């Protein structure tokens, strides 16, 4: 086991569950500061709190848009983005309309992404294409649309689908888009070994809730992720 600070800046420290409380968000912010994460990624309601909590640090406030299904109307996603920007979001992670992509409604998907990019006002937009529901050809189309729309990243997963990032998907995306496009791998990234495999495949960001375990290379750590498991009911 070896502490390695460089892994922090790969990590968007993420807390997005329905039962998330402000106390939990505060714990994630404090961990992000301790481990020098790239961002703390939250639902829109938590953006003002995270923005204030991280003030004076180098850590970005990241907000999800159209999350987790991506089936909101484009106008709703654009409004949600504008509100998040007003609340202090530095980065936006939007979900595409997966059903529209599978229908072959390419223009709709492109304009949906463009609306969020425009509303982000120059802030990085990471587009979640939810690879678990797509064929390889659909993944290629979705990745090209992300680039055409002016997004900064293609992102693999929401964490609410049937699986997360795979090395194979990252290689496919990397081969599809230009070198200017970045890739964020998300979900099922629990260990340093997981992180290393995905970074080697092309990821420059990781959507994770286990940043401390990855930085410390220690899966036994009792962290916010472990403390804040779903309540039993």
pLDDT tens-digit series, residues 165-215: 999 999 999 999 999 999 999 999 999 999 999 999 999 999 999 999 999
Known catalytic membership, residue 93: yes
Q: How would you class 232 by CB atoms within 10 Å of its CB: exposed for 0-12, middle for 13-18, buried for 19 or more?
A: exposed
Domains contained in the chain, CATH given: 5-227 (3.20.20.70)
pLDDT band (50, 70, 90) for residue 233 = low
Known catalytic membership, residue 34: no
Of 155, 169, 182, 194, which residue is the catalytic one?
155
pLDDT in tens, 87-137: 999 999 999 999 999 999 999 999 999 999 999 999 999 999 999 999 999
**pTM for the model:** 0.96
pLDDT in tens, 41-53: 999 999 999 999 9
Which DSSP helix (H) or strand (E) runs through 203?
Answer: none
Q: Which residues pair with 182 in a beta bridge?
A: 153
Q: What pLDDT is stored for residue 1 in this prediction?
A: 60
Q: How would you class 130 by CB atoms within 10 Å of its CB: exposed for 0-12, middle for 13-18, buried for 19 or more?
A: buried
Of 93, 112, 169, 194, which residue is the catalytic one?
93
Contact 89, 78 (CB under 8 A): no
Distance (Å, whole) CA 7 – CA 2: 11
């Amino acid at each position: 086991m070896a502490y390695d600070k460089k892994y922090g800046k790969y990590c968007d420290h993420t807390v997005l569950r329905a039962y998330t409380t402000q106390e939990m968000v505060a714990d994630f912010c404090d961990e992000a500061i301790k481990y020098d994460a790239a961002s703390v990624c939250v639902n829109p309601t938590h953006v003002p709190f995270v923005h204030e909590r991280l003030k004076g640090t180098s850590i970005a406030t990241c907000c999800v848009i159209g999350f987790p299904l991506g089936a909101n109307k484009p106008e709703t996603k654009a409004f949600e983005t504008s509100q998040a920007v007003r609340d202090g979001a530095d980065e936006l992670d939007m979900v595409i309309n997966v059903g529209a992509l599978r229908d072959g409604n390419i223009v709709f998907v492109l304009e949906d992404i463009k609306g969020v990019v425009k509303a982000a006002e120059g802030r990085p937009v990471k587009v979640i294409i939810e690879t678990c529901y797509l064929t390889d050809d659909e993944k290629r189309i979705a990745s090209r649309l992300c680039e055409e729309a002016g997004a900064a990243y293609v992102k693999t997963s929401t964490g609410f689908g049937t699986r997360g990032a795979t090395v194979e998907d990252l290689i496919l995306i990397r081969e599809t888009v230009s070198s200017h496009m970045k890739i964020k791998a998300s979900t099922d990234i629990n260990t340093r070994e997981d992180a290393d495999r995905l970074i080697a495949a092309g990821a420059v960001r990781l959507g994770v809730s286990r940043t401390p375990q990855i930085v410390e290379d220690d899966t036994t750590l009792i962290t916010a992720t472990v403390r804040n498991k779903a309540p039993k009911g």
